[in-house]
Structure 1
């Protein structure tokens, strides 16, 4: 059976999303070993991942404005070919300089790949399918993260040629398999509202501000927990391997929950889901900080992944609904920008807590964060997804 054109485009984009997240954390699971191989410090290997959020903060808005002015196919082609070239750059010489240059090239492309999610759904899908078109690449993001932690220790860091081969094949597929946008002529015709006017419209919308503030807190919480999970569980006698399994449970649960959220969303408003996600995470957080049972902790990870990650596609769609098609790329990019800012802020806030081992205080901080999320959620949109 022939794949419908819109799902052909979506499958290519989902693959790009997954591979971008994989490349972001390509070296994180084997930091010490890779540092020894290249003759650099562990912090130098950490910088291979750190350049991604740093460049995203600088480039998200300009790239979002650009996304609103070019065809989806053009954005996909630039993303795919650029990622393949970035993978090849890492292989020019077996040195840290070329490794870093390749990661820098990937990081420059990340805002383009992330920001395209909303515009692709608007251009290629009717309203009834846009939530599904947002769910699939959202799930792909977390599949890529999970693959980095599961696959890299198995294939090692000497298989960069495999990355280049996969990305090269995907670039060719994108170039020859992705058709012209179905509404390219309509989108290109006529004057466009300026991006400044679009930004002012967003910033004057109470719903838009509530949604991005909620995501600032939610993404901050998720990244803080993910970053410091091993340290949190260590004081309860849990080893690093078990902590990794708990983190994997969070990711897998989140991916599955995104796939199942559509029928739930049709029965509940987004506001109810946002409140439930925030309030439901409070009890799970207390269990996570106090239990010494691997089974209980894995179950907590499953619940936490579902509550934190499942609403993500709904939030993206709600953000874009406040701006319309003309500024979908800008809105999505601003959404991710605020989320990255939340992650950076709360990881930094918990760093002295982790150094001092004051995790009872850390637990209290995160619960306050969730309470604030719940209060913000009260101002979320009531409308059920179409």
Structure 2
């Protein structure tokens, strides 16, 4: 019997929703000063409109994964509805309280959406197409960051219109996802274990645990550079506006990398080689930034880092989807949890060194190199054990 065909319409609708969650996350980042004046609050308060997202993700990553493993369509539908609801709440009242309430609702929705990347691939795509589907889903989230910053630039002086436009995007994405979810999945039919069984299965696999440890550093390095590249490059004479363009180039290169690199790596079974190369390139690029920071080196180094590091996420998620079976939602939650923790820890450490750019960039290089032995042990771990048996 032929394998059911791939439903790329589901991937397209999910990619739109995934992008929108990131647009909503960074809504106020490019318009911090304007938002502060609009709501009558300081920069710290505006910062919390974005900071609630990683904090909620750390808390909700595993529960969201368990929900998706047990009731995938219902969990993703809830994520879509909550995303649209949060975006609408922000325009119901023109105050900081409503803005924060809306961000909190979207922050709750985000794990239900992003943890579903592997589930979309496993349930709606043929096996040969799953790495490509995960790459598209992952790339869409990073593309959402670019769209979010672009909208902020366009509507920098009109916060009200900015929020209305984003609410329209969120509602459209939710409607698209709810529409395609009406058709049941045709591929994966395994039933996840009840209760915490999915978590025990996922965490019980040494390969999954090793993947969690691996994603900690690449995600953390990317978040740290995205957060502190401007102040780290400023002593080298890089203007704030130019630093912003460098960060855009970093994310654009990452989106391109996500769309291309994981697919090629998956087809040829070269994931380990690709990840090794990306970590080595990141280490070298950080050393260059430490020794000869500047506009040209900033553009080149951060573009290479984005192209190499961001594809690590879809590669790791594709490995997770193949390994975790019916517990893939929870396993994906573990990956996102590890990544967000890495972002918080590495960014906080680099933030403490923001006045010492040489030490900060060298630290990021060392962290990248220290991850290599963990990566090189993957083959031994994957051959020494199998996927844990389902927990009743």
TM-score, shorter chain, exceeding 0.5: yes
Q: In the alignment, which residue of structure 2 is the partner of 1:234?
A: 234
How far 1:338 sits from its partner (Å)? Answer: 0.7
TM alignment of 1:303-382, pairs within 5 A: 303-324=304-325, 326-354=326-354, 357-381=355-379
TM alignment of 1:1-386, pairs within 5 A: 6-72=7-73, 74-156=74-156, 157-159=159-161, 160-183=163-186, 186-187=189-190, 192-194=192-194, 196-261=196-261, 262-267=263-268, 269-324=270-325, 326-354=326-354, 357-381=355-379
CA distance in 2, matches of 1:364, 1:164: 41
Deviations 1:334-364 (A, max 9, x none): 110010000001111122211xx11222122
CA distance in 2, matches of 1:138, 1:310: 8
Q: 1:243 to 1:47 in 2, by over 3 A?
A: same
Q: 1:42 to 1:330 in 2, by over 3 A?
A: same
Say if 1:5 and 1:179, in contact at 8 Å, map to a contact too: no
CA distance in 1, matches of 2:176, 2:368: 43
Say if 1:80 and 1:171, in contact at 8 Å, map to a contact too: yes
Say if 2:258 and 2:310, in contact at 8 Å, map to a contact too: yes
Say if 1:207 and 1:379, in contact at 8 Å, map to a contact too: no
How far 1:98 sits from its partner (Å)? Answer: 0.7
Q: 1:350 to 1:182 in 2, by over 3 A?
A: closer
Q: 1:130 to 1:381 in 2, by over 3 A?
A: farther
Unaligned runs of 5+ in 2: 383-392
Q: 1:305 to 1:184 in 2, by over 3 A?
A: closer
How far 1:323 sits from its partner (Å)? Answer: 1.6
CA distance in 1, matches of 2:255, 2:187: 32
Q: 1:253 to 1:93 in 2, by over 3 A?
A: same
Say if 2:116 and 2:329, in contact at 8 Å, map to a contact too: yes
Q: 1:258 to 1:291 in 2, by over 3 A?
A: same
Q: 1:318 to 1:185 in 2, by over 3 A?
A: closer
CA RMSD of aligned residues (A): 2.0
How far 1:85 sits from its partner (Å)? Answer: 1.6
Q: Normalising by the residue count of structure 2, what TM-score does the alignment of the two structures yield? A: 0.90
CA distance in 2, matches of 1:123, 1:105: 27
How far 1:246 sits from its partner (Å)? Answer: 1.2
Answer with 364-373 or 128-137: which moved more. Answer: 364-373
CA distance in 1, matches of 2:329, 2:349: 30
- In the comparison of the two structures, how many residue pairs are matched? 373
Say if 1:250 and 1:306, in contact at 8 Å, map to a contact too: yes
How far 1:381 sits from its partner (Å)? Answer: 4.2
How far 1:302 sits from its partner (Å)? Answer: 1.7
Answer with 288-297 or 253-262: which moved more. Answer: 288-297
Unaligned runs of 5+ in 1: none
Q: Normalising by the residue count of structure 1, what TM-score does the alignment of the two structures yield? A: 0.91
CA distance in 2, matches of 1:289, 1:364: 6
Deviations 1:133-162 (A, max 9, x none): 101110001000112222212123222111
CA distance in 2, matches of 1:375, 1:45: 40
CA distance in 2, matches of 1:167, 1:204: 37
Deviations 1:208-230 (A, max 9, x none): 22211110011111111111100
Say if 1:270 and 1:380, in contact at 8 Å, map to a contact too: no
Secondary structure class of the residue paired with 1:182: coil
Secondary structure class of the residue paired with 2:377: coil
